[in-house]
């Protein structure tokens, strides 16, 4: 019978294998346990989750704004509407948490756009933020100013494919961030929201891939 494991031709080899397995099991057992969830207490992971997800959501909403006036598949427009309906209230919820925790609520791309900072185009605003050393593009899935400009300038035929690609990557980044919160967060409402983000955006990725 063929096997994928190498033959253990000596007792020494068998002893080494057993020791290696024991070491691996020990490493797994020593992994830190997830924090006990609380309805009132929070930890640093909760603060990081809200602080980073607010600008991440804000850029997703900017991507949704870019679909306005475009001749797009109604199914794609429906996904954009769903993203707006989900993420706008989530931003407000997370901002409320940070305020209640005496933490700073981060400024976002949309805040700067509404203030007339850097021009009307999101890509212009993003370019100014990048020049100022803003770290938003360091978060997973975030688009750079040049990527936003490519979307803004695309024809309707080009836009749909580019938008789907951008939103899938953006959602994948959000899922990574939310998964970290489910593993490390303590504040139960934040962990619950993170789980909702994973579920909603995983489903949207599947629909976007179908449309793409």
Query: Residue 164's pLDDT is what?
Result: 97
Residue 9 burial class via C-beta count within 10 angstroms: exposed 0-12, middle 13-18, buried 19 and up: exposed
Residues of the chain falling short of pLDDT 70: 1-31, 110-119, 133-137
Using CA atoms of 91, 93, 97, 100 in order, give the dihedral in degrees to the nearest 10.
Answer: 110
Domain segments of the chain: what residues? 36-211
Query: Residue 18's pLDDT is what?
Result: 45
Query: Residue 13's pLDDT is what?
Result: 47
The closest of 82, 89, 84, 90 to 50, measured between CA atoms, is 90
Domain formed by 36-211, architecture: Up-down Bundle (1.20)
- pTM tops 0.75, yes or no: yes
Total H helices, total E strands in the chain: 8, 0
Residue 150 burial class via C-beta count within 10 angstroms: exposed 0-12, middle 13-18, buried 19 and up: middle
Gap between the Cα atoms of 176 and 181, Å rounded:
9
Query: Residue 85's pLDDT is what?
Result: 97
Q: Which residues of 103-135 are buried (b: 16+ CB within 10 A; e: fewer)?
A: bebbbbbbebbeeeebeeebbbbbbebeeeebe
β-sheet bridge partners, residue 187: 38
Pair of tokens at residue 77 = 């427009």
């Amino acid at each position: 019978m063929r096997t994928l494991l190498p033959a253990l031709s000596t007792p020494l080899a068998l002893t080494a294998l057993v020791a290696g397995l024991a070491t691996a099991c020990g490493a797994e057992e020593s992994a830190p346990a997830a924090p006990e969830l609380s309805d009132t207490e929070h930890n640093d992971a909760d603060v990081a989750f809200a602080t980073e997800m607010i600008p991440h959501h804000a850029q997703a909403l900017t991507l949704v704004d870019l679909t306005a006036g475009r001749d797009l598949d109604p199914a794609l427009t429906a996904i954009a509407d769903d993203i707006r309906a989900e993420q706008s209230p989530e931003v407000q919820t997370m901002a409320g948490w940070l305020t209640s925790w005496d933490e700073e609520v981060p400024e976002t791309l949309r805040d700067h756009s509404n203030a007339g900072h850097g021009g009307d185009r999101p890509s212009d605003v993003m370019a100014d933020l990048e020049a100022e050393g803003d770290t938003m593009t360091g978060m997973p899935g975030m688009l750079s100013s040049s990527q936003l400009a490519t979307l803004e300038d695309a024809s309707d035929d080009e836009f749909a494919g580019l938008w789907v690609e951008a939103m899938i990557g953006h959602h994948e980044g959000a899922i990574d961030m939310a998964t970290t919160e489910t593993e490390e967060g303590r504040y139960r409402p934040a962990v619950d929201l993170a789980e909702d983000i994973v579920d909603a955006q995983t489903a949207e990725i599947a629909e976007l891939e179908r449309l793409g």
